[in-house]
Structures are given as structure tokens and as C-alpha cells.
Structure 1
């Protein structure tokens, strides 16, 4: 993986974090409370998984 890919991955993760934080904060009309809870939970899992990838990407970029 080259430097540009590593930095691009980190940029994507930051953008996704912003989008998913909005999903967590906002309820969607037409969904039940339980469905909104599941949306927020799934978004949190994705944020956590992607956040874990940041350090790996930084390590790869540092090695280049």
C-alpha cells in the first residue's frame, strides 16, 4: 500500500465518522424506536471498526 492510499483511507474514515455520527444523532421518521436504535448501534459498530483501522493506516504510511 502506498502513502497516497494510506492517507486516502484515513480521509475516508474521517468522512464516514462524520456521516455515521449524524445517523446516530438523528432519528428517522417512519422508523420505530427500536429500528432507530438498531441504526445507531450499527453505525457505532462501523465507526469503531474504522477507527481501529486508523492506526494501521498511519503505521503503513510511516513505513513508506
Structure 2
């Protein structure tokens, strides 16, 4: 999950969509740790952080 492009500049829906895509593609057989690519800086809107966290929490991996 890009902390340079998607998280600071994307919409909450785009964050949800990319999070689901990563979970679907990479999480099928286990062993996938979903996380931002780096520390989440202050330039990331709170709505995008919440969208990421809620999607992971509610996801089916």
C-alpha cells in the first residue's frame, strides 16, 4: 500500500478498493501481511487511514 501516492492522495473508496485487491490477490494461501509500505505520515488524511484499517479488519483473509 503506497504511502507516497494512494494513501495521501487517493479517495477513501480508492483505498478500500486497493486494500481489497491486495487482500484478494496476495492473501489467498496465507502468509500475507498487509501493511503500508512505510510509516503513515501526517500527510495522509484520517479518512484514508480509517478506510484502510476498517477494510483490513472487516476483510476475509
TM-score norm. by structure 2 comes to: 0.34
| Bigger Rg, which one | 1
